[in-house]
Amino acid sequence: MSIKRVAGICRVLIRHGFGNFSDWLSGSGVSHNKPIDIKENVSLSGFPSPERIRRVLEDLGPSFIKLGQLMSTRADIFPAPYIEELRKLQDQVPAVSFFEIQQVIEEELKQPIGSIFGECLSESIAAASVSQVHAARLFTGEKVAVKVIRPGIRKIIEQDIRLMYYLSGKIEKNFELGRIIGATNIVKEFERTIFNELDMFIEASNIDRFGKNFQDSTEIHIPAVHWGLTSKSVLVMEFIEGVKMDQVDALRAIGIDPEEIALIGLRSFSRQLMEFGFFHADPHPANTIVMADGRVGIVDFGITGYLDDEMMQHVAHLLLGFAEHDYDMVMEALGNAGILREDMTNLKDFKTDLKDVSEPFYGRSLKTISVRDVYDQVMQLVLKYHIKLPRNLLLLFKTFIQTEALGKILQSNASLLEVSRPFAKKFLEKRYAPENLFSEMAKDFKDMGSHLKMAPKWLHDILKQTAAGKQRLELHHSGFSSMDTRMEKGINRLTIGIIIAASTIAASLILNSSQKVLEFSFNLFGRQTLTITGILGLTGYTVATILGIWLIYSIFRSGKM
């Protein structure tokens, strides 16, 4: 870790009254293990206010601003006041000099900038914490947008991420709340997200994929990527001329109906979810441009979300369930998605609360409904019932909010659920078509055959590792106690039967034997003679008779003759 960066962060923390955090960061603090109740963390005396946390993140620089923006999407673990405050974080920063940008372009593309562009404007048209954009013109006359990663930003972010891991570990160690929200996991998620944004090849691939998805569309236009002029830190793409979506008066001035633009946006978003499973997750006005011919151009594909076929199915059922007031369908979709667990004893209460939240919003247009209000109330339920949501589902909810915000700006009367309903129905009809069902069955059988083929090798590897002492096999059985009892009873009866037979045979042999041992006489109704061998024989018969009667009785009593 950079000592200079640590010292800088400590100064920021102390300036905002986080002296104890500064001590922990520098390693001089005392551990405080008093747990913090997540239900009390908003009003708990002494707990940092949302505004203080936002200001600290802003002063800590681009990496921490990006982290705060990620945290603002995690309404499943942060209370509403903190989410609302973190949404205010903006990563608009002053542009770096064109000289520095030119150096990056020439270093990445291995040629002078004058050989690449006929013209490149020195003034940036957009500047953010990670990158900035310049307009340029190729020698063919085509106007392009050149997106360049800020010089040195990668090294700063790498240092900050190491500090974030260190700080998150300290937070989890000293605060029960830190363990509940999973501070280290949030940093891991941020690391994955930010390094995707730092790789222009990933964004270029996203643009290409969107272009193919919407190549048949007459409503949506995706810019073309110039792959020959694209590298890890430089992205050159088609420049889209037009009006930003939120400039309603300018749209009307060129004869375009803002409400129709809102419908195009909703239809596009529905297609992204229900047809492609790949969606643009940052549709704010600056990234949505209305062209002169009425098409909507989408730019900046640094943040995207994915839904696999299974999750698309769950989302389709959710949309239809809400659209048709079918809360059983909603609950089933949430359960199948793994959001609701079977061991939750209060599913009935959750369903009732969800219905109470959702019903008041039915039949209302975007003008009178706030998806953000619905989202905030649903997230309160998520916190109340301690539900963890998948990252892409949270990203989807955030995109819903941004899409709704655009609809409101455009004064649309459209209903988000009504627009998405036919797309959801079409997806499910296609999903349950016979040919697709048979295709899935064939795939399952193929997977099963592959597993069966590999089973002997897996078994061999397990036994080999076990023999080498690298693995240990433990066998646990259950449900055999009654079998043990029945076997024990059977063996006992068999033993008694053998004793009866042996006693009977021995008694017969003794009584019929000509050998007499200790013969003696006594008077009982005349002179009687008795021997020890005779007594033993009679005793054997008596024992055999008693045991036989008891054995027959126990068999009859068990009802298993």
Q: Which two tokens stand for residue 321?
A: 């369930």
507 in Cβ contact with 538 (< 8 Å): yes
Q: 9 φ, ψ to 5°?
A: -65, -40
Closest C-alpha among 8, 5, 284, 4 to residue 126: 284
Q: Is 246 an annotated catalytic residue?
A: no
Tokens 């430089």 identify what position?
234
59 in Cβ contact with 12 (< 8 Å): yes
Residue of 208, 282, 326, 373 marked active site: 282
Residue 218 CB contacts under 8 Å (≥ 6 apart), including other chains: 295
291 in Cβ contact with 241 (< 8 Å): yes
The length of the chain, given as a count of residues: 561
Q: What share of the chain is helix, strand, coil (3-state, %, to 5)?
A: 60, 10, 30
Calculate ∠ Cα 509-512-517, nearest 5°: 90
190 in Cβ contact with 48 (< 8 Å): no
277 in Cβ contact with 305 (< 8 Å): no
Q: At what angle do helices 327-336 and 309-323 cross, to 10 degrees?
A: 160
Question: 322-341: string of b/e by CB count within 10 Å (b at 16+)?
Answer: bbeeebebbbbbbeebebbe
6 in Cβ contact with 14 (< 8 Å): no
188 in Cβ contact with 31 (< 8 Å): no
- The helix (run of H) or strand (run of E) holding residue 278 is strand 278-280
Give the residue numbers annotated as catalytic, written as ranges. 282
